[in-house]
């Protein structure tokens, strides 16, 4: 199945998607199995997560390049062997009830929720030479989940590499600043399917331009009711949020008007 067909399958309705940022990270420690399971429980349409690589080449789920903020350890993820990383506590910083939560591997996420919800995998690759993209793809195909994932990155090199390796998996280009380039041409050049953009710089004109060219647009990270509603009004295709329940409630109300 081509990436365009897979991507269209994420949009079985015309409604915007509620995308759980690092899982349901408002009520559970980000990028943990608990956060991902809660996203499913509270009816997110998709989860977003971040993947990095360990010293021994295992894709693991953590946002920062260092473990300091979200665990009881210190140091760079790439300098940890998996077995050492697994000894860290990734939950108690958030709430005592999550003490003992581990940094999960990508495979463990697939085992826990892979068949229940589409997954947006943001590749946090410090260097193309680390082969993280190839290892992520290997885990995806080993778990037969290619039709239920989206790969995204801020790094155009990562997206070009994904497209060189497979045309089956849809990709998203992450961008933070106001658009000063031709977004349609950029997505075409990258072989990408969606622009994932900072909501603060997302305009009705940008949404219209992408839709007219057959592309989708997700916005991040939207947590206030006013901003969620504004993004729905201008027609974005997905809202990446920390607060799944709030966003779902606003979306349901919006769809009834």
1 contacts: CB under 8 Å, gap ≥ 6: 146, 147, 168
Determine contact, residues 52/62, Cβ cutoff 8 Å. Answer: yes
Residue 7 pLDDT > 80: no
Helical pair 106-113 and 132-142, crossing angle rounded to 10 deg: 30
Residue 152: enclosing H or E segment and its boundaries? Answer: strand 149-153
Condensed to tens digits (0 to 9), the pLDDT of residues 162-197 reads 999 999 999 999 999 888 889 999 999 999 999 999
HSE, side-chain direction, 13 A CA sphere, residue 95: 11
Residue 14 pLDDT > 80: no
Cβ atoms within 10 Å, residue 71: 24
Domain 3-256 has CATH 3.90.180.10: no
Q: What's the pLDDT band for 126 if we cut at 50, 70, 90?
A: low
Q: What's the pLDDT band for 127 if we cut at 50, 70, 90?
A: low
63 is catalytic: yes
Q: What is the pLDDT of residue 66?
A: 98
Condensed to tens digits (0 to 9), the pLDDT of residues 38-52 reads 999 999 999 999 999
96 is catalytic: no
Determine contact, residues 190/173, Cβ cutoff 8 Å. Answer: yes
Determine contact, residues 137/145, Cβ cutoff 8 Å. Answer: no
Determine contact, residues 204/235, Cβ cutoff 8 Å. Answer: yes
Share of the chain above pLDDT 70, in %: 99
Q: What is the pLDDT of residue 11?
A: 73
HSE, side-chain direction, 13 A CA sphere, residue 115: 4
Q: Per the residue annotation, which of 63, 96, 176, 197 is the catalytic one?
A: 63
Three-state DSSP class for residue 30:
coil
Q: Per the residue annotation, which of 21, 96, 197, 227 is the catalytic one?
A: 21
**In the chain, domain spans:** 3-256
Q: Is the pTM of this model over 0.75?
A: yes
């Amino acid at each position: 199945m081509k990436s365009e067909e897979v991507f269209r399958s994420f949009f079985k309705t015309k409604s915007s998607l509620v995308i759980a940022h690092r899982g349901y990270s408002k009520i559970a420690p980000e990028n943990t199995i608990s956060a991902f399971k809660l996203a499913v429980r509270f009816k997110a349409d998709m989860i977003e997560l971040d993947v990095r690589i360990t010293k021994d080449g295992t894709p693991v789920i953590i946002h920062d390049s260092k473990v300091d903020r979200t665990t009881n350890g210190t140091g760079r993820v790439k300098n940890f062997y998996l077995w050492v990383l697994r000894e860290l506590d990734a939950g108690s910083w958030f709430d005592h009830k999550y003490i003992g939560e581990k940094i999960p591997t990508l495979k463990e996420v697939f085992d826990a929720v892979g068949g229940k919800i589409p997954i947006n995998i943001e590749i946090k690759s410090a260097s193309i030479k680390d082969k993280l993209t190839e290892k992520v793809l290997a885990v995806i195909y080993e778990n037969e989940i290619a039709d239920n994932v989206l790969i995204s990155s801020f790094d155009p090199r990562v997206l070009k590499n994904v497209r060189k390796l497979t045309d089956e998996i849809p990709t998203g280009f992450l961008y933070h600043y106001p658009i000063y380039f031709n977004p349609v041409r950029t997505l075409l050049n990258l072989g990408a399917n969606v622009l994932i953009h900072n909501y603060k710089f997302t305009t009705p004109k940008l949404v219209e331009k992408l839709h007219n060219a057959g592309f989708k647009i997700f916005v991040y990270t939207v947590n206030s009711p006013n901003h969620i509603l504004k993004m729905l009004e201008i027609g974005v295709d997905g809202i990446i949020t920390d607060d799944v329940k709030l966003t779902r409630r606003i979306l349901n109300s919006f769809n009834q008007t």
